Protein backbone atom coordinates (compact mmCIF):
# COMPACT_ATOMS: atom_id res chain seq x y z
CA UNK A 1 0.00 0.00 0.00
CA UNK A 2 1.47 3.42 -0.93
CA UNK A 3 2.17 5.84 1.89
CA UNK A 4 -0.40 8.57 2.40
CA UNK A 5 0.94 12.13 2.39
CA UNK A 6 -0.19 14.01 5.49
CA UNK A 7 0.06 17.79 5.73
CA UNK A 8 0.54 19.67 8.98
CA UNK A 9 -2.81 21.34 8.41
CA UNK A 10 -4.58 17.97 8.40
CA UNK A 11 -2.95 16.36 11.46
CA UNK A 12 -5.61 17.67 13.84
CA UNK A 13 -8.38 16.09 11.79
CA UNK A 14 -7.02 12.63 12.58
CA UNK A 15 -7.46 13.28 16.30
CA UNK A 16 -10.92 14.88 16.29
CA UNK A 17 -12.49 11.68 17.62
CA UNK A 18 -10.37 11.86 20.81
CA UNK A 19 -12.12 13.01 23.94
CA UNK A 20 -10.49 15.94 25.68
CA UNK A 21 -9.67 14.48 29.14
CA UNK A 22 -9.01 17.83 30.77
CA UNK A 23 -11.29 19.42 33.33
CA UNK A 24 -13.42 22.16 31.78
CA UNK A 25 -11.90 24.76 34.11
CA UNK A 26 -8.63 26.44 33.25
CA UNK A 27 -8.42 25.29 29.64
CA UNK A 28 -6.13 27.95 28.21
CA UNK A 29 -5.06 25.98 25.14
CA UNK A 30 -7.10 24.20 22.53
CA UNK A 31 -6.97 20.43 22.76
CA UNK A 32 -6.10 19.83 19.12
CA UNK A 33 -3.40 22.53 19.18
CA UNK A 34 -1.62 20.63 21.96
CA UNK A 35 -2.05 17.29 20.20
CA UNK A 36 -0.67 18.62 16.90
CA UNK A 37 2.30 20.20 18.67
CA UNK A 38 3.01 16.93 20.48
CA UNK A 39 2.75 14.83 17.31
CA UNK A 40 4.95 17.20 15.30
CA UNK A 41 7.47 17.36 18.13
CA UNK A 42 7.69 13.59 18.40
CA UNK A 43 8.08 13.26 14.62
CA UNK A 44 10.97 15.73 14.94
CA UNK A 45 12.68 13.47 17.52
CA UNK A 46 11.48 15.15 20.72
CA UNK A 47 11.23 12.51 23.42
CA UNK A 48 9.85 14.42 26.41
CA UNK A 49 7.36 17.22 27.08
CA UNK A 50 10.21 19.64 27.78
CA UNK A 51 11.78 18.87 24.40
CA UNK A 52 8.39 19.21 22.67
CA UNK A 53 7.85 22.58 24.36
CA UNK A 54 11.31 23.85 23.36
CA UNK A 55 10.76 22.65 19.80
CA UNK A 56 7.39 24.44 19.65
CA UNK A 57 8.74 27.68 21.11
CA UNK A 58 11.46 27.69 18.47
CA UNK A 59 8.86 27.22 15.73
CA UNK A 60 6.04 29.30 17.18
CA UNK A 61 5.69 31.54 14.14
CA UNK A 62 5.54 28.53 11.81
CA UNK A 63 2.98 26.78 14.05
CA UNK A 64 0.77 29.89 14.04
CA UNK A 65 0.36 29.35 10.30
CA UNK A 66 -1.51 26.09 11.03
CA UNK A 67 -2.86 26.38 14.57
CA UNK A 68 -4.91 29.00 16.36
CA UNK A 69 -2.76 29.16 19.53
CA UNK A 70 -4.95 31.84 21.17
CA UNK A 71 -2.78 31.79 24.32
CA UNK A 72 0.56 31.02 22.71
CA UNK A 73 2.58 27.84 23.00
CA UNK A 74 1.42 25.56 25.84
CA UNK A 75 3.86 24.97 28.68
CA UNK A 76 5.72 21.71 29.10
CA UNK A 77 3.45 20.92 32.05
CA UNK A 78 0.37 21.47 29.92
CA UNK A 79 1.76 19.16 27.22
CA UNK A 80 2.80 16.57 29.81
CA UNK A 81 -0.56 16.60 31.60
CA UNK A 82 -2.48 16.14 28.37
CA UNK A 83 -0.25 13.30 27.17
CA UNK A 84 -0.65 11.54 30.52
CA UNK A 85 -4.43 12.00 30.54
CA UNK A 86 -5.31 10.98 26.99
CA UNK A 87 -6.34 7.34 26.45
CA UNK A 88 -3.30 5.58 24.90
CA UNK A 89 -5.33 3.11 22.82
CA UNK A 90 -7.54 5.83 21.38
CA UNK A 91 -4.52 8.03 20.64
CA UNK A 92 -2.74 5.14 18.93
CA UNK A 93 -5.76 4.41 16.73
CA UNK A 94 -5.90 8.04 15.63
CA UNK A 95 -2.15 8.11 15.03
CA UNK A 96 -2.27 4.95 12.90
CA UNK A 97 -4.83 6.54 10.59
What digits encode the pLDDT tens for the residues 16-66? 999 999 998 889 999 999 999 999 999 999 999 999 999 999 999 999 999
Asked if 63 and 56 touch (Cβ cutoff 8 Å), the reply is yes
Contacts 24+ apart (CB under 8 A), 4-9: 8/36, 8/40, 8/66, 9/66
Whether 1 has a pLDDT exceeding 70, the answer reads: no
pLDDT at 97 over 70: yes
Residue 92 has pLDDT above 70, yes or no: yes
Residue ranges of the domains in the chain?
Answer: 29-96
Give pLDDT, residue 2: 66
Q: What is the pTM of this model?
A: 0.91
Amino acid sequence: MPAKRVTVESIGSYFESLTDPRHTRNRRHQFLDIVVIAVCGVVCACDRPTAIHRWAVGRAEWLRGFLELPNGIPSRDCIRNLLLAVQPDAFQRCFQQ
